[in-house]
Chains A and B, each alone.
Chain A
């Protein structure tokens, strides 16, 4: 199963990058994808992965993206205001956040979202779901601590962790 998923992804990537459909390019694409699949199928899909659960997570992750894009846009207006303000109204602080996020995808998504949303940057991410975060103002820290982001990321992980 991991072979098949890796092969399809690799061959799709080849098609996207080459853009030619004559027999030579297709055959060399298949050969290259097979070699990569043989060498590294357990990197993309580690042993003991349930494809169905992971696919569900990927779909929920896609549904989470529009909300994230909106947040990113406002985050940038927010930072732009502070950068261009003559007196630079910033008051940075470090905060610790405890969440019950457990999967790798959840931790990466949370850390990325924290970096991309207003006024907060992840400094350290732990396997146990604790994050050390640099917030640029008190308001940014409070927004993060009220836990909406953690709830949304938790929803991506689903019930079967």
Chain B
């Protein structure tokens, strides 16, 4: 176990935690608008953390450059996809859940 291994492990653990939280959130939350919150935030950060772990593990090379490209793309694409989902739901007239309503 070197220092690089330990740091990579920490990043992988944090990333896995946030991805699991996002998955649980998407299953638990009551309607499409609130489900987008864990999907948009949790997934973006979790995946970025795992990729940063890989980045540290691989060191400086063209692999690192490609990982940075993937991180950048995910950070732009994920919130855009969440925004497109809620916009389509809003355009389709889905009512937002409010406190006390039945789960959708």
Contacts and interface: CB of A to CB of B under 8 A. Distances in A.
Nearest to A83: B25
Interface in B14-67: 17-18, 21-22, 24-25, 28-29, 31, 33-34, 36-38, 40-42, 44-46, 62, 65-66
* Interface band, chain A: 20 to 34
A72, A76, A94, A125: which has the most chain B beta carbons within 10 Å?
A: A76
Interface residues of B, number: 36
A32 interface: no
Nearest to B97: A92
Interface in A91-130: 91-94, 111-112, 115-116, 119, 121-125
A79 B37 contact: yes
Contact of B44 (A72, A83, A91, A136): A72
B45 A72 contact: yes
B45 A76 contact: yes
Contacts, number: 97
Contact of B99 (A75, A76, A91): A91
A92 B32 CA distance: 11
Contacts of A122: 83, 86
Contacts of B28: 83, 88
A1 interface: no
A93 B37 contact: no
Contacts of A64: none
Interface in B50-104: 62, 65-66, 69, 76, 79-80, 82-83, 86-87, 90, 96-99
Interface of A: 16-17, 19, 72-73, 75-76, 79-80, 82-84, 88, 90-94, 111-112, 115-116, 119, 121-125, 132, 134, 136
